[in-house]
Amino acid sequence: MIPSVEVTTRAVRAEDGATAEVRLHRRPGDPSAPVLVCLPAMGTRAAAYTALADALAGAGFQVAVGELRGQGTSSVRVRRGVRYGYHEMVAYDYPALFRAVEAAFAGAPRYLLGHSLGGQLGVLYLSQEPHMAAGAVLVGAPSCHYRGWPFPQSVGMLAAFQLAAAFSAVYGYFPGRRIGILGNDSAQVLRDMATQVRTGRYQVPSSAVDFEAALAKLDLPVLAVAVKGDAMAPPGGVRGLAGKLTGARVTHWELALGDGVRGSRHYAWIRDSAALVERVRAFVDGA
């Protein structure tokens, strides 16, 4: 544990009764220090971001690490018959989390730090409640429209997600851990993502919100980070999401990882975060 940083957990209850833990890294001696609200990638537990949270706390930030529905400490367990998608996370989970963080860090400015799907859903949420954050950092967070990938990967992306959504609908959920791709998730999450892969638009069933129009009106400073060599969030995809934020003040930055980094670049930056933390510090200080 980093000296002068107090780490606790708190249960967050969404309006529909779902619960999850948020891990809070406080600075008792500097309670007004900016708070980064970290949201994970699809199928990824919040615990995977512990090293990143420690690094951010070491750079003077306060940190809240949330959990996506169906992952980690979430009370919602992925199995047949359990249905949730983008709507439940954007309309219930994100508002409950941000309100819990607001109460825990009263008076401190809050910034979204969303990774991949966590960033996509984060800007969908902030398009509805922009006052809940002073800015957003989107790391490897693409629009999943297949045209954001170079050919022929774009065709493979389109086909793979339509197939995954169809398979999940029949199987009852997406068994990502069994097949070694992402993690387990609801069939509706796969359907929502497949729709966005195909159309390029955030069309969320059960929601009357026109998210495309709302994203265009979002007026916040945004740091859009593309990780060099990240095949799961290529520059075209990252720019695709940032390009929807026409009312925001977007800064683009490419994060280059060290040559010795192992594993997928989409996740390796979580452990090799020194350069990112320095850039986030500059972004927040200049926001």
Q: What is the pLDDT of residues 127-146, one digit of tens each?
A: 999 999 999 999 999 999 99
pLDDT for 207 equals 83
pLDDT at 165 over 70: yes
φ, ψ dihedrals at 117, nearest 5°: -60, -35
- Which of 231 and 180 is assigned the larger pLDDT? 231
> Per DSSP, what are the bridge partners of residue 219?
none
Query: Could you tell me the pLDDT band of residue 1, with boundaries at 50, 70 and 90?
Result: very low
pLDDT at 229 over 80: yes
Residue 135 near residue 160 (C-beta atoms within 8 A): no
pLDDT for 24 equals 98
pLDDT for 120 equals 98
Distance of alpha carbon 98 from alpha carbon 37, whole angstroms: 8
CA distances 9 to 3, 56, 86, 95, 248, Å, are 18, 17, 25, 18, 32
Q: pTM surpassing 0.85?
A: yes
Q: What is the pLDDT of residues 172-227, one digit of tens each?
A: 999 988 888 888 999 999 999 999 999 999 988 878 899 999 999 999 999 999 99
Residue 25 near residue 71 (C-beta atoms within 8 A): no
Q: What is the pLDDT of residues 95-110, one digit of tens each?
A: 999 999 999 999 999 9
Query: Could you tell me the pLDDT band of residue 3, with boundaries at 50, 70 and 90?
Result: low
pLDDT for 123 equals 98
Distance of alpha carbon 55 from alpha carbon 5, whole angstroms: 11
Distance of alpha carbon 5 from alpha carbon 140, whole angstroms: 28
- The tally of CA atoms less than 13 A away on the side-chain side of residue 40 is 23
Query: Could you tell me the pLDDT band of residue 61, with boundaries at 50, 70 and 90?
Result: very high
The CATH homologous superfamily for domain 6-143+209-286 is: Alpha/Beta hydrolase fold, catalytic domain (3.40.50.1820)
- Which three-class secondary structure state does DSSP give residue 221? strand
Query: Could you tell me the pLDDT band of residue 260, with boundaries at 50, 70 and 90?
Result: low
Helices (H), the chain: 50-58, 86-88, 94-104, 117-126, 153-171, 176-179, 187-199, 211-217, 235-242, 265-268, 274-286
* Average pLDDT score, the chain: 95
Q: What is the pLDDT of residues 32-60, one digit of tens each?
A: 999 999 999 999 999 999 999 999 999 99
CA distances 184 to 1, 46, 52, 246, 271, Å, are 31, 14, 23, 34, 23
pLDDT for 258 equals 78
Q: How many CB atoms lie within 10 A of CB 29?
A: 9
Query: Could you tell me the pLDDT band of residue 264, with boundaries at 50, 70 and 90?
Result: confident
Q: How large a percentage of the chain has pLDDT more than 90?
A: 89
Q: How large a percentage of the chain has pLDDT more than 70?
A: 98
- Which of 265 and 38 is assigned the larger pLDDT? 38
CA dihedral 112, 115, 121, 123 (to 10 degrees): 40
